[in-house]
Amino acid sequence: MFLFDRWDLGASSFSPLSLSHSLTSAMDESQIASLLKSSELFPTPQSVKLSYGTAGFRGDAKLLDSTVYRVGILSALRSLKLGSSTVGLMITASHNKVSDNGIKVADPSGGMLSQEWEPFADQIANASSPRELVSLIREFVEKEEIAIGEEKKNKSAEVWLGRDTRPSGESLLRAAEIGVSSILGSVAIDKGILTTPQLHWMVRAKNKGLKATENDYFENLFTSFRCLIDLIPNSGKDKLEVSKVIVDGANGVGGLKLEELRESLNNLDLEIRNTGRDGGVLNEGVGADFVQKEKVVPLGFGSKDVETRCASFDGDADRLVYFYIPTESSTDKVELLDGDKILSLFALFIKEQLNTLDDDDKEGTRSRLGVVQTAYANGASTDYLKQLGLDVVFAKTGVKHLHEKAAEFDIGIYFEANGHGTILFSETFISLLVAKQKDLTQGSEEHKAVSRLVAVSNLINQAVGDALSGLLLVEVILQHMGWSVQKWNELYKDLPSRQIKVEVPDRAAVVTTSEETEALKPLGIQDAINAEIKKYPRGRAFIRPSGTEDVVRVYAEASTQEAADSLANSVAQLVKSFLG
């Protein structure tokens, strides 16, 4: 038994008996001992305040040992709470610099950690002492009625761990393993180096009772891609010469995994650059975040690539953007096809298949296809989607909010401009498609349309945005349409836009609607913004408080860059006058 009286637990009259009495209402003494002993290995860094968000916890890798250890504890508790379902833990900092790292939880559904557990994540990550940590865990376990220690009987937690290629990943993974195993009977399984979407896919598949190895992930991508290639109309094959696509792997894990997959992709002329094998630095002058924000070519691209179709992954391969270099006279600038353009291509293709089925639908039971965007989506993309007759809805900024909205449709497509997004198919709708596939005459246009939709549901990663599966779906749709990247880019022309950050004394003074498109407080500011918007052709602007710093973010767009800049500056002045 661990000696409790070794610890300074903040009480002058402390005794082992008093600790046992105060903490064992939800946990037995052996469980308390396990937590106290392991937490001694990971003291919390001083003056570091952490908050769990869409990206989980992120920061300087040197300061994250205790955080990763504690999220290991949380993941084991999450598994027990959900009937010992498998939970995932991904160690990554995505598009952040290589010296950073982070950790986030994949729920059994393959989605992100339930928002209801985020406050608990914050509490234990910031607990300043072992006693405070154990006390917080005890209170939470009691509130959530989670059986641990002797009370859990035959149930045990199972947590799958993955990491990207960062040098700090291996040691942080060990911290996560210790955190998981400190909940007695819990098992941590190291799945090795993975993309973030791979781990989410594997966790989702495991809990659905499906094959869930990395090889199964690759096999699923290849099989569904091959099916869609086989279903390309002859007219599409005639219209497009199969051309090369060059992928920027951000010197991260995505390029390495794409190399593994390439061996099976006979129908794709694929070149991969920035794999990290040649000494390139993760996310430094490369990757989806860099290309999307800077609108310049990543390292390793130049005049030899003019007019060639190119794509960029981010560091952990959950974001995808496309680009091409338009002219030889300016080989540093790119024509960007961001998440909005990818969403539009996906929506157009899926609507085409649904139209084929709806035309044949004698019972009038039409499917609900919905598109989910944030207020940051370019207004030209929203106009284009509405012109297609699609149901466009807005969600609060953050992938978890978009995902939740998309799940309300039979087929829901969501993307952020940064290239993170996916397509969700409801289980009911998939069952209807599979049944219809069996009833329709093989080779008929209706049968082909159903088969394409089923294949898309298998190819796309329905757990989370996935650059690998997204790349394959873009490529097969372009072949289906017979389109070059330039033709795709002509779907609509982005409106010029500008974003500004305004420092304010209290960002909480700004309250917006749930879609963040209008400000409810301070009173009168929205009327003032609307008055400014009216001065500019195709003007649109909104403000929203930052989630992490005392600034208010201003977004504006208009028919010209000069107008967008002017509108943004005018709205920024309004923010200063109302909140200054």
Please enumerate, as own/partner, the contacts of 438-447 that have beta carbons within 8 Å and a separation of 24 or more: 445/356, 446/356, 446/357, 446/360
How many residues are present in the chain? 580
Q: What is the pLDDT of residue 189?
A: 98
Residue type, position 115, single letter: Q
Q: What is the pLDDT of residue 361?
A: 52
Comparing C-alpha atoms, which of 366, 304, 324, 346 is closest to residue 481? 346
Contact 422, 429 (CB under 8 A): no
- What pTM was estimated for this model as a whole? 0.92
Give me the domains of the chain, ranges plus CATH numbers.
4-193 (3.40.120.10), 209-494 (no CATH), 497-579 (3.30.310.50)
Comparing C-alpha atoms, which of 497, 339, 496, 365 is closest to residue 418? 339
Question: Which one of the listed residues 38, 79, 94, 186 is annotated catalytic?
Answer: 94
The list of the chain residues with pLDDT below 50 reads 1-24, 239, 362-364
Contact 311, 248 (CB under 8 A): yes
- Please give the annotated binding residues for substrate, written as ranges: 416-418, 544-548, 553
How would you classify residue 149: left for phi > 0, otherwise alpha for psi between -120 and 50, otherwise beta? left
Q: What is the pLDDT of residue 26?
A: 60
Q: What is the pLDDT of residue 373?
A: 97
Name the H helices within 360-426: 379-387, 399-406
- Please give the annotated binding residues for Mg(2+), written as ranges: 94, 314, 316, 318
Is residue 182 part of the annotated active site? The answer reads no
Element (H, E) at 556: strand 551-557
CA 108 to CA 204: how far, in whole Å?
Answer: 6
270-273 and 245-248 strand pairing: parallel
Q: What is the pLDDT of residue 235?
A: 64
Q: Tokens at residue 577, please?
A: 């006058």
Q: Tokens at residue 484, please?
A: 């070059």
- Please give the annotated binding residues, written as ranges: 94, 314, 316, 318, 416-418, 544-548, 553
CA 564 to CA 262: how far, in whole Å?
Answer: 42
Q: What is the pLDDT of residue 149?
A: 62
Q: What is the pLDDT of residue 83?
A: 94
CA 285 to CA 265: how far, in whole Å?
Answer: 28
